[in-house]
Structure 1
């Protein structure tokens, strides 16, 4: 939550503080602060209009902040939920917000219930004055400022208790007119269902790109669209609204703003070195001229276009479009020189006109392509791991290691390994090798009956972590099966009746014969055994039992569906979350979740860093809650451990938390202000509370006392970075993955890009969960951080959860194995997939642009050249620039045959292919079509229209700042006519 912006003494630069020795200087400084506060303060405003209200809760109530008065709010009339598509795409807050808050909910008022009879109870109902055709279900309220201003933030006050009518999802618009068609969208976000006020930043300028006039956005009216309440079938309420920003003596000309929305943005210019805001008629005039120019050229009025272009000021003419694009229009539209057009496209790439074709750049789509590595088409496959879910697969060096899981009938204890391909090596399948089947009757390595070796028991829902430096693989946790639970309950009942021994001791029998596995009797079924396996170096292939029960040594109780991370440099293992087995007797009806533990490998000691907050803890809603099925990954660059999503009780989570540790080198703390355009991680860390050393929270377990390790880490912060990543971002409206259970997230150590593969998903307001196969990436280095949903092409893995995913940073590939398809049967998956992410790049933009150019050239060839020549061009020149895994491109390529069938009969003639195959005849290096003469262009013939449509498609590959306006003047005129009706 962003607090209201207020100047304080700490905002004064340090060089001014040095001269505050005299009273006169201090007085001047106070006057300066008062002057500055004049430009950034809450604005006085009044209610202009609203969509309607109930008789009790009128609009003017939101002008005052009275959180203890239940009637001090505006309640919209007859709020209905948006369409399913809208709700699924942009539902803002976690469904668990209310359940995680310790305050009791308020009993709703009679007017809080929605009225489905068309608003009969609305004493103040009034029709919408909006000119934009929107759903009639949208409820809105419009605020009017006393004078035009630059609004920088909007804040919402709340009732002092959780309330079912609290505003959930909303949108904010601003402008100089109350007409929505003349406003600019400023924000789309959501509020938490709690009592804490929230404030959001609003954009203050038109984000003018290089080469275009800069502009800021003045507003006289602010409109809030109240889209959904936190509880269905209730009217939505807003309790209090405040506005922050900048104001000055804006000229009266700004007030007389033209409400006809011809321009992309209402704007004024801000002079460098001055806080004075003045109107910018030059900007509006230039925008209008650009619209007229693009209309003339689109309408094939080229002489008029050229005459106007020559008569306007050079600054306006030069900002119309990049000179290379002017050449492209003349080359491809007027002269039909497709070869010259391809040369210009290559030059455009050289001049960085495809610069937005980068991850997060705004152009193109990121794609993931999958290959199945154990397809049934290979009949000579070596032995493969059986289908399973809840298993663990890790990477150590250039090998995969797989252990355990549940096959639908029983837990497993088999151990497999596979070699990863080297860079540049093409491996259509992945060969597995069985290290040990985990069964007494099978011994692939032979071995004497006198061998004394240990082997972990069968298990699933455990976790494994790799020590790359020492070659160990650590394993902790297991889900107790129903049979084991019943046996444990029976033994406990016998002990209560005095028929059993004291079950406090946890015993492990090390068998020298038979299978050599560790045997666990019924009374130790809940012992949290802790193992490690030597995979590289001396003692390779050896299992070592570190602890028979970590709970007796200050570590966690037996967990399942937790997460682990091992930091090799510091030799520390972190364990967070998971469900505790068994729950304490007094909490038998409540799920218990674990907090954060740290194991010092060198000292062989556990540290309890913090526990799961209880229902009586203060600020419970602001603390990191224990959970299961979450993701946990470490960013070595920022020394930060991230936790994403998971499940707690019936709630599916999509929150993002960050735990920042002390860097080994103080210089690596990176606490300076972030560079321009970089992510705001440093200021984010300064905003949270600091936890130095080991937490004093009481451990979850009471068996044994936690030992404070001399090497335990120092936590700088535990901070919630995002309440719900599936919400539209307040900055750019982007959304992230839906709340999910057993999703898998990896991080690339060089690019710091996250990749998340969803598991069992439960959308907001949905009653049932379902498996998903979506793939998302999160970029933290290229501009503002944002989520991006990847497009999957070709064959894709079926939806699943409880699968295992491993990332190979050397080849930038993901390996996915197994999982549960959630079909309500014993079926488990045993397929192995390799996925690779492809991000937009300038070369991809050039390829796609070439495909469009050559497709148009082929269409014209079918009308002017022999059909055989056109077909040869289709095969030799177009096919090589088509991405056949893209369904749209593949369909467009197949549709080229329509042009062949529509060719005139005279083209179906015999030709000398030896002559026509000459590069000068049909190769992509020569134009084969005619130019559009001037008369044809003026008349706006079909050929000109088709070529101009191609030109405008090519403009979509370059930044908007370099191209003509996308708006069509005819569409603006149509909108104006519709608004007057």
Structure 2
């Protein structure tokens, strides 16, 4: 069913008016009505809760003047930081004040910039729902022993009468259908087939996909195992297992690549270098970096087809970017140009990849640092056309042209379709300041050579949280025309674990996670690398330095993660090495480089810093002091392919479960020898003996042990309550392969009734 908000008649969101319907006790004169007025410089224009303890439940209930579809909420703030500022909070909405659903749990920044949060207004089936009430549940303030304060609240959504009426009708129809489906599931699970069939016929409601019904009948009702296997194959052929295959945990197959040039050369060990990829021609470009002693200015190209590195020769008499690290490169498929921006310093003592445990470049003297002579230069390399093989200096000082200042450890991405570069964050090279300074968010038009700062003038400014970072990750999503920005570091003591998405069409940012570690993701990260596959809506993250909440010392981590953003806010899963490949994986590192070939769906990783090299020659990233001799840069080059179960493998897994149940019931109806023959010939044939299925096979032998050939057997199978429950368990296991919309409701009716009687979400 398509909800009304997916139609062409969807109106634009507008500000929704509201009144205060109720609240918990307030402190002093800070009443709830104050949040209706945006007066950031008025210290009394706020609501403050009566209680300081986070264990005390506090809330404000808003009643919308009109039934509406709520789209977002904006919190205005005091003009400067304040110890009472609300930090953690939840938002619930509902048609009535006693039946509300949580639609947001998030965190506000302790600054003066208003923040807007998107509010979920669709259920798990994608059907929009209207609301009359909105409840704000503050959980904590930024400082302990202070009353929580909310300064200003604005709500946005859709209130146009015709549109909301259509949404309400669709939602009511969906709820009616879901109620009938829960009843049907309840009747069938209790073997009340007569009322089940009668209700199915008269209500004209489909409990599940027809193939799922056939599978239930063959497995649970009839024990027709051959038919069950046929239905599994039919379901695979119709693509019903494709969602499971896409969302199953990925297994990473790593291959070390060793293709040298014709002279036997390859890029030497380094970290803090830059790479980019020309997917159409299968070429990976690499420039510069720090090898532990000096900065590098070599330029390489790797041919994926040949499996070989080549040195890119210098154009006689032409410009060259020179020695550098902590820079970034991107490839523009439209023009065939490579763009390069950023540089840490001007000498071998200054140029290195970022190390948050140090404050001075390796080899630098204890005296005053030498003044910088290099500016924010910006280069382009031509890979085709009349100028092929030539570097071009686009700007000797991007800051003077309206672009970013001299920066390092920033992020840069390319929008080829619109001919735009985007640069986010990074640390400014300001040798006169002891306090870290950060760049902003910039766009560059490759056709005109014009820089612009985002958002444009006249629009609300960005939250500093988005750009006040370096060593972070940023990827460009072309279908959404958005930037995903996460991780990095603000200073040596603060690693970040937030994630934002910035919409380039609307120039607005949304925080997806204030802490992705508590949402199933990795710990706080710095100098990690990320690439994106928009076709499958996944971001692949290769960890770098991580810092756990229990220790101030950063450590290396070799984990790799997949972030799926097909639904908000998205889900994190950790990849696992492919079976039989536990040791053939890259060592943990940071300041490495990764590019992604979306045509072949292969990631390529090169080099990086592997931490301290011990006197024994072993790598010890946790060791400091006299035992740690020198940091070890790497020159290894890897490819990684992520695999997931294919249809054939899913059918095999389902067939194994079906035959296991068939064997259990066969043991009750045939002699032990015949049952053993079935186990060996039919069940073992489809088992993956290297997985836990091998253990299941051995467990299946237990019923046969001690049975004599003359043991009594029944003439025909009897569907006892125990057998019925066992068959339903098999059916439920098989349902793991099917998408939610194709199967019966996941909750039992008894659970729904219990939730209702307990009062639901409040």
Normalised by the length of structure 2, the TM-score is: 0.71
Comparing 480-489 with 865-874, greater Cα deviation is found at 480-489
Q: Secondary structure at the match of 2:701?
A: helix
Match of 2:680 in 1: 871
Match of 2:470 in 1: 628
Q: Output aligned runs, 1:216-295, within 5 Å.
A: 216=129, 222-231=134-143, 234-239=146-151, 290-295=181-186
CA distance in 1, matches of 2:416, 2:96: 60
> Deviation per CA, 1:820-863, whole angstroms, max 9, x where unpaired?
34525513344433222446876665454334334434555567
CA distance in 2, matches of 1:347, 1:239: 58
1:808 aligns with 2:575: no
Comparing 855-864 with 327-336, greater Cα deviation is found at 855-864
CA distance in 2, matches of 1:589, 1:63: 36
The alpha carbon displacement at 1:312 in A equals 3.1
Match of 1:479 among 336, 344, 358: 344
Q: Go from structure 1 to structure 2 and tell me whether the alpha carbon gap of 1:872 and 1:225 turns closer, same or farther (over 3 Å shift).
A: farther
1:744 aligns with 2:519: no
> Deviation per CA, 1:536-581, whole angstroms, max 9, x where unpaired?
89999x7768599657996877543244567889999776654444
1:339 aligns with 2:125: no
Match of 1:395 in 2: 277
Q: Is the 8 A contact 2:253 2:642 kept in 1?
A: no
Q: Is the 8 A contact 1:389 1:819 kept in 2?
A: yes
Match of 2:195 among 294, 308, 312: 308
Q: Secondary structure at the match of 2:575?
A: strand
The alpha carbon displacement at 1:812 in A equals 1.4
The alpha carbon displacement at 1:73 in A equals 1.5
The alpha carbon displacement at 1:308 in A equals 1.2
The alpha carbon displacement at 1:390 in A equals 0.9
The alpha carbon displacement at 1:321 in A equals 3.5
CA distance in 2, matches of 1:949, 1:875: 21
Match of 1:967 among 747, 751, 755: 747
The alpha carbon displacement at 1:483 in A equals 3.6
1:139 aligns with 2:57: yes
Match of 1:721 in 2: 509
Match of 2:189 in 1: 298
Q: Secondary structure at the match of 1:333?
A: helix
Match of 2:48 in 1: 74
Q: Output aligned runs, 1:439-518, within 5 Å.
A: 458-466=323-331, 475-480=340-345, 483=349
Q: Secondary structure at the match of 1:905?
A: coil
CA distance in 1, matches of 2:532, 2:271: 23
Match of 1:591 in 2: 437
Match of 2:248 in 1: 365
Match of 1:170 among 84, 89, 92: 89
Q: Is the 8 A contact 1:598 1:607 kept in 2?
A: yes
CA distance in 2, matches of 1:557, 1:198: 27
The alpha carbon displacement at 1:969 in A equals 4.3
Q: Output aligned runs, 1:382-781, within 5 Å.
A: 385-396=267-278, 397-413=281-297, 416-421=300-305, 458-466=323-331, 475-480=340-345, 483=349, 526=374, 546=393, 559-564=407-412, 578-583=426-431, 585=432, 587=433, 589-591=435-437, 593=439, 596=442, 608-610=451-453, 619=461, 621=463, 625=467, 628-631=470-473, 646-649=488-491, 654=498, 656=500, 685=505, 687=506, 719-723=507-511, 725-726=513-514, 740-748=525-533, 754-761=539-546, 770-772=555-557, 773-777=559-563
CA distance in 1, matches of 2:38, 2:404: 46
1:793 aligns with 2:586: no
CA distance in 1, matches of 2:336, 2:198: 74
Match of 2:105 in 1: 188
> Deviation per CA, 1:315-353, whole angstroms, max 9, x where unpaired?
436333344333322211233222211211233345554
Q: Is the 8 A contact 2:339 2:380 kept in 1?
A: yes
Match of 2:730 in 1: 950
CA distance in 1, matches of 2:417, 2:568: 28
Q: Go from structure 1 to structure 2 and tell me whether the alpha carbon gap of 1:156 and 1:338 turns closer, same or farther (over 3 Å shift).
A: same
Q: Go from structure 1 to structure 2 and tell me whether the alpha carbon gap of 1:383 and 1:64 turns closer, same or farther (over 3 Å shift).
A: closer
Q: Go from structure 1 to structure 2 and tell me whether the alpha carbon gap of 1:271 and 1:208 turns closer, same or farther (over 3 Å shift).
A: farther
Q: Go from structure 1 to structure 2 and tell me whether the alpha carbon gap of 1:489 and 1:526 turns closer, same or farther (over 3 Å shift).
A: farther
Q: Go from structure 1 to structure 2 and tell me whether the alpha carbon gap of 1:580 and 1:41 turns closer, same or farther (over 3 Å shift).
A: closer
CA distance in 2, matches of 1:469, 1:154: 37
Q: Go from structure 1 to structure 2 and tell me whether the alpha carbon gap of 1:355 and 1:233 turns closer, same or farther (over 3 Å shift).
A: farther
CA distance in 2, matches of 1:855, 1:976: 38
Q: Secondary structure at the match of 1:347?
A: helix
Q: Is the 8 A contact 1:526 1:582 kept in 2?
A: no
The alpha carbon displacement at 1:373 in A equals 0.9
> Deviation per CA, 1:572-625, whole angstroms, max 9, x where unpaired?
977665444453x4x465536477485979x9xx755449999xx994747974
Structure 2 unaligned regions, length at least 5: 1-9, 259-263, 351-359, 612-620
The alpha carbon displacement at 1:394 in A equals 3.3
Larger radius of gyration: 1
Match of 1:856 in 2: 661
Q: Go from structure 1 to structure 2 and tell me whether the alpha carbon gap of 1:331 and 1:197 turns closer, same or farther (over 3 Å shift).
A: same
Match of 1:833 in 2: 638
The alpha carbon displacement at 1:187 in A equals 2.9
Q: Go from structure 1 to structure 2 and tell me whether the alpha carbon gap of 1:184 and 1:275 turns closer, same or farther (over 3 Å shift).
A: closer
- RMSD of aligned C-alpha atoms? 5.7
Q: Is the 8 A contact 2:376 2:396 kept in 1?
A: yes
Q: Is the 8 A contact 1:165 1:237 kept in 2?
A: yes
> Deviation per CA, 1:607-650, whole angstroms, max 9, x where unpaired?
55449999xx9947479747533445566678877766654446
The alpha carbon displacement at 1:801 in A equals 2.4
Q: Output aligned runs, 1:55-66, within 5 Å.
A: 56=28, 65=37
Q: How many residues align?
A: 697
Q: Go from structure 1 to structure 2 and tell me whether the alpha carbon gap of 1:904 and 1:58 turns closer, same or farther (over 3 Å shift).
A: farther
Q: Go from structure 1 to structure 2 and tell me whether the alpha carbon gap of 1:891 and 1:722 turns closer, same or farther (over 3 Å shift).
A: same
CA distance in 2, matches of 1:42, 1:891: 58
Q: Go from structure 1 to structure 2 and tell me whether the alpha carbon gap of 1:629 and 1:47 turns closer, same or farther (over 3 Å shift).
A: same
Q: Is the 8 A contact 1:862 1:870 kept in 2?
A: no
Q: Secondary structure at the match of 1:139?
A: coil
The alpha carbon displacement at 1:877 in A equals 1.6
Q: Secondary structure at the match of 1:827?
A: strand
1:321 aligns with 2:199: no
Q: Is the 8 A contact 1:818 1:831 kept in 2?
A: yes
The alpha carbon displacement at 1:391 in A equals 1.9
Q: Is the 8 A contact 2:46 2:149 kept in 1?
A: no
Q: Go from structure 1 to structure 2 and tell me whether the alpha carbon gap of 1:313 and 1:527 turns closer, same or farther (over 3 Å shift).
A: closer
Q: Is the 8 A contact 1:365 1:791 kept in 2?
A: no
Q: Is the 8 A contact 2:412 2:423 kept in 1?
A: yes
CA distance in 1, matches of 2:78, 2:573: 41
CA distance in 1, matches of 2:404, 2:160: 60
CA distance in 2, matches of 1:544, 1:245: 50
CA distance in 1, matches of 2:128, 2:366: 76
Q: Go from structure 1 to structure 2 and tell me whether the alpha carbon gap of 1:164 and 1:309 turns closer, same or farther (over 3 Å shift).
A: same
